Amino acid sequence: MRAGWCISILAATALAACSKGGGSTEGEQAAKVVPSSEPSAAAPTAEAVRMNKKLEAPVREGSTIVRALTDDALYVADEDHGAVRKLELPLDLHPTSIEIPMPGQPAQMVALADRVLVTIRNEGAVAPGMGEKKEGASDKPRVPAPPTGAGLLLIMKPDAQKGLVEAARVPLPQDAWGIAVTPDAATAIVTSAWTHKVSAVDLASAKVRWTVDVPREPRAAVVHPSGTSVYVTHLVGADLTRIDGIGGEAPTVKRVAFPAAPLRAPVGKTNSASLAYSATLSPDGKRLFVARHALGAMGPQVWLGASAVDVLLTGNDSPLAPMRTDAPRAMADTPEGKASIEDPSVGGRAPRINPVPFVQPRAMVYHKKSQTLLVASEGGDAVAKLLASPIDPTMFPVETYDVDPRKGEKLRVAAECGAPSGIALSADEDTAWVYCRSTFAIATLSLTDRRLPREGGGNRLPLDIRRLAEDPLPEQAALGRRLYYNGIDEPTSGGMGCAGCHPDGRDDGHVWHEAGGVANEGTNFFSGEENIPGFWNENPPDAGFARQTPLLAGRLVAEGPYGWHAESSNITDRLKNGFRLHRWGDMPDGHQAKDIYDRAMAIRAFVRAGLVPPPREARELSPEEKRGKELFMSEETKCSGCHVPNMDYSDREKYPVLPKEPRKGFSQDLELAYKTPSLLSVGGTAPYMHDGRFSTLEELVDRNDDRMGRTNQLNKADRAALVAFLRTL
């Protein structure tokens, strides 16, 4: 990722935007309205909505940091302290902030004329480390329990003394996360990530109008300017979801094919994607920009894929960039005449970009003044500024703003402003405020003053960095948090942080290739066959063994073993082995064994104490689920013999359970015995098996063929019951 060439691409014109309607509904859920004696806490009325339309929100998509429309305050959703923070503007005149406790962990906010909307992932959930430190208590934090409360949308009213006061509380499906608001400020669209739902909330009545089911991990929601459609991104997979008729009671849901970085895909193939946390529209609504990670994308040293901003034409829901039909070639003069330049050692033939402008995109805004995009690079502790007009904006970086320029030389981890997760613009767009999640700080950036210093003559530096709070976790776990998101510290990341494959401690849904690394320096993971060095030689190497990304949160209590073949005896060794696998080539020189051990121990502390497991419903099992539990525990199926309930549903032993034939596109594994995986949260971790050969739990049970326990004798109803029980774990 540190060498390559640049290629110019002409911008294409966008088509006119259009919208559609019609479909089905899934009912309405009443809100819990919180009474208050304060006038400012009254639920908003339809008249209030109409009166305040004159002060329209410039940004209608959610973020972790938003600016009040009156330009006098910033609001920050501090998920890891379970609070929203209000900071008065200008920041240099107001050194303190107001901390507003939330009934759970806040994810995103939108500021309207007279309200601030806040999504709460799960009601009653306590952020890890909060409320644990008592006099005489151990420094070792508790492992978080799975949250059980409903998701929430809070409708908050500004208050001079308290910052915000709650006006209404709307229950939603668990893990409420992303939010967007229609142009008339009448409807909020909320995504619920783990439960893969999207809901519409009528803001005047504070009631849910409809809820629909969508694919895995919906995150960003962007409402079309027409107000009739919403686009939803997903952390897993490249396709989008479009929902039409959002203002009515019967919306329609459809998938929108949207290949990632098509200009950098292998010829004749499409790239998958992950990390699509954020999306935004062009001012005319004709282009939808989605920042994400393109798995399988080609280029120099792109073992892991490549960063991308993909553009969808909303007029007909087609990608702006065309599919590659032939391998582009760079030409050079040689003694024999013109010849093509091909360098298989750097990841195959494809357009090159240098440098990679961002790592692990987390947030994005459109800067109208300069017609550019600002992308928060979670793994790079930076904000990238890209031209918005080209076919592939990623290939046209304009500026890089380093929000944490004071990293150490030996431990390249954030010191002041790490893991940027949100961007807010001033009304004149001359200033950007960036919230950094791993250090709980705000960086102030000047987007216009060309006289400001640059780091080494390169990256722009922030005007100011304001720390809002200390990490609630103990020192070692707090360091682990910063390392977990970091893609710069070479011994741990190799170019992408832990959060790049394990967002929220979950998984990217991708099956990686474990193959020989650069110049035979070891074994590494590659996102696709064509990313393996030397793949384009006349004698290509093995395609690599299949290795699906496992979910981490809630599954790391046991000391060991870890790895698909149980090859690491404990979690510390697994992390150290991971440092070698998750990179381009071998470990960097100059690092001692203790340096590696200390990093592994810090990340170990964080992934156990700082990652919140996916939510579970606190309810009685249904009759079908009870029947499934009986089957699971029975001698007839023998499921619980290996997936032991009191051992996190894994005996941690390994067994040969699959036929020898590998999945297409992968090499035959040398070891056929695989460790029993934990079944905790298994319902949300498709695809299944180490090689992802089963796309659903139903397919896994139907095609098991008595390789894992005994299921061939089960009838259709019993198989459905077994799957229903698995989804409750």
Q: Annotate 503-553 with three-state secondary structure.
A: HHHCCCCCEEEEEECHHHCCEEEECCHHHCCCCCCCCCCCCCEEEECCCCC
Q: What is the 3-state secondary structure (H, E, C) of 283-315?
A: CCCCEEEEEEEEECCCCCCCCCCEEEEEEEECC
Between 120-134, 413-427, 431-445, 452-466, the lowest mean confidence (pLDDT) is in: 452-466
Give the model's pLDDT for residue 411. 84
610 or 660, higher pLDDT: 610
Asked if the structure places residue 103 within a domain, the reply is: yes
128 or 590, higher pLDDT: 128
Residues 264-283: tens digit of each pLDDT: 888 888 999 999 999 999 99
Asked if the structure places residue 319 within a domain, the reply is: no
Query: Looking at beta carbons, which pairs linking 9-14 to residues 24 or more positions away fall under 8 Å?
Result: 9/263, 9/351, 9/390, 9/391, 9/392, 9/395, 9/396, 10/390, 10/391, 11/389, 11/390, 11/391, 12/320, 12/391, 14/282, 14/284, 14/286, 14/287, 14/313, 14/314, 14/315, 14/320
561 shares a domain with 523: yes
- The last residue of a domain, from among 193, 228, 252: 252
What is the phi-psi region of residue 332: left when phi exceeds 0, alpha when psi lies from -120 to 50, beta otherwise?
beta
Asked if the structure places residue 444 within a domain, the reply is: no
- The last residue of a domain, from among 191, 223, 252: 252
48 shares a domain with 145: yes
Instruction: Decide if pLDDT at 488 tops 60.
Output: yes
Beta-carbon count within 10 A of 650 CB:
18
Give the model's pLDDT for residue 538. 45
Handedness of CA 535, 537, 541, 543 (dihedral sign): positive
CA–CA dist 340, 331 (Å, integer): 4
175 shares a domain with 246: yes
Q: What is the mean pLDDT of residues 406-429?
A: 89
Confidence of residue 39 (pLDDT cuts 50, 70, 90): very low
Between 152-161, 181-190, 512-521, 675-684, the lowest mean confidence (pLDDT) is in: 512-521
Give the model's pLDDT for residue 583. 82
Give the DSSP letter of residue 407: -
Instruction: Decide if pLDDT at 603 tops 90.
Output: yes
174 shares a domain with 49: yes
Give the model's pLDDT for residue 55. 59
CATH code, domain carrying 100: 2.130.10.10
Give the model's pLDDT for residue 26. 35
Beta-carbon count within 10 A of 629 CB:
21
Question: What percentage of the chain exceeds 90 in pLDDT?
Answer: 63
> Rounded to whole angstroms, what are the CA distances from 24 to 27, 171, 247, 358, 720?
10, 21, 13, 40, 25
594 shares a domain with 628: no
Confidence of residue 729 (pLDDT cuts 50, 70, 90): very high
569 shares a domain with 518: yes
> Rounded to whole angstroms, what are the CA distances from 624 to 448, 470, 717?
62, 47, 9
Cβ within 8 Å of residue 25, ≥6 positions away: 210, 212, 249, 250, 251
CA–CA dist 360, 63 (Å, integer): 16
CA–CA dist 537, 460 (Å, integer): 41
Question: What percentage of the chain exceeds 70 in pLDDT?
Answer: 84
CA–CA dist 595, 491 (Å, integer): 9
Q: Hey, which of 27-31, 198-202, 410-414, 692-696 has the most confident mean pLDDT?
A: 198-202
Q: Tell me the residue range of the domain where 632 lies.
A: 623-726
CA–CA dist 65, 621 (Å, integer): 39
Whether the Cβ atoms of residue 378 and residue 389 lie closer than 8 Å to each other = no
Between 184-188, 265-269, 552-556, the lowest mean confidence (pLDDT) is in: 265-269
Give the model's pLDDT for residue 531. 85
What dihedral angle (degrees, nearest 10) is formed by the CA atoms of 592, 597, 598, 604?
Answer: 160
Asked if the structure places residue 50 within a domain, the reply is: yes
552 shares a domain with 686: no
- Taking the whole predicted model, whether its pTM rises above 0.85 is answered as yes
> Rounded to whole angstroms, what are the CA distances from 370 to 13, 366, 399, 400?
18, 9, 12, 15
Confidence of residue 190 (pLDDT cuts 50, 70, 90): very high
Return the closest-CA partner of residue 584 out of 86, 196, 106, 3.
3
Instruction: Decide if pLDDT at 451 tops 50.
Output: yes
650 shares a domain with 569: no
Between 252-261, 443-452, 505-514, the lowest mean confidence (pLDDT) is in: 443-452
Secondary structure class of 230 (helix, strand, coil): strand
Instruction: Decide if pLDDT at 136 tops 70.
Output: no
Instruction: Decide if pLDDT at 381 tops 90.
Output: yes
Asked if the structure places residue 338 within a domain, the reply is: no
30 shares a domain with 127: yes
Q: What is the mean pLDDT of residues 166-191?
A: 97
Instruction: Decide if pLDDT at 202 tops 50.
Output: yes
Give the model's pLDDT for residue 156. 97
Give the model's pLDDT for residue 354. 52
Asked if the structure places residue 665 within a domain, the reply is: yes
β-sheet with 187-192: strand ranges across? 176-181, 187-192, 197-202, 207-213
137 or 186, higher pLDDT: 186
Q: Chain-wide mean pLDDT for the chain?
A: 85
Give the model's pLDDT for residue 362. 97
CA–CA dist 84, 101 (Å, integer): 7
Cβ within 8 Å of residue 538, ≥6 positions away: none
Give the DSSP letter of residue 345: G
Counting beta carbons within 10 angstroms of the beta carbon of residue 554, is it exposed (0 to 12), middle (13 to 18) or buried (19 or more)? buried
Confidence of residue 582 (pLDDT cuts 50, 70, 90): confident
Instruction: Decide if pLDDT at 537 tops 80.
Output: no
Instruction: Decide if pLDDT at 90 tops 50.
Output: yes
Q: Hey, which of 399-408, 523-532, 563-572 has the most confident mean pLDDT?
A: 563-572
Domain count, the chain: 3
Q: What is the mean pLDDT of residues 486-513?
A: 92
Asked if the structure places residue 455 within a domain, the reply is: no
Q: Hey, which of 123-137, 245-259, 327-341, 395-409 has the most confident mean pLDDT?
A: 245-259
Instruction: Decide if pLDDT at 558 tops 60.
Output: yes
CA–CA dist 320, 554 (Å, integer): 40
Task: Measure CA of the first residue to CA of the last residue in the chain; give whole Å.
Answer: 40
- The last residue of a domain, from among 252, 277, 297: 252
Give the model's pLDDT for residue 388. 95
Confidence of residue 331 (pLDDT cuts 50, 70, 90): low
CATH code, domain carrying 665: 1.10.760.10
What is the phi-psi region of residue 590: left when phi exceeds 0, alpha when psi lies from -120 to 50, beta otherwise?
left
Between 42-56, 112-126, 652-666, the lowest mean confidence (pLDDT) is in: 42-56
Instruction: Decide if pLDDT at 462 tops 90.
Output: no
Q: What is the 3-state secondary structure (H, E, C) of 443-475?
A: EEEECCCCCCCEECCCEECCCEEEECCCCCCCH
Q: What is the mean pLDDT of residues 700-727?
A: 92
Return the closest-CA partner of residue 677 out of 545, 570, 551, 540.
551
675 shares a domain with 537: no
Instruction: Decide if pLDDT at 322 tops 50.
Output: yes
Please provide the size of the chain in residues: 729
155 or 618, higher pLDDT: 155
Instruction: Give me the amino acid identity at 401.
Output: Y
635 shares a domain with 536: no
Q: Hey, which of 82-96, 321-335, 574-588 has the most confident mean pLDDT?
A: 82-96
Confidence of residue 185 (pLDDT cuts 50, 70, 90): very high
Confidence of residue 206 (pLDDT cuts 50, 70, 90): very high
200 shares a domain with 98: yes
Instruction: Decide if pLDDT at 336 tops 80.
Output: no
Give the model's pLDDT for residue 440. 97
Asked if the structure places residue 353 within a domain, the reply is: no
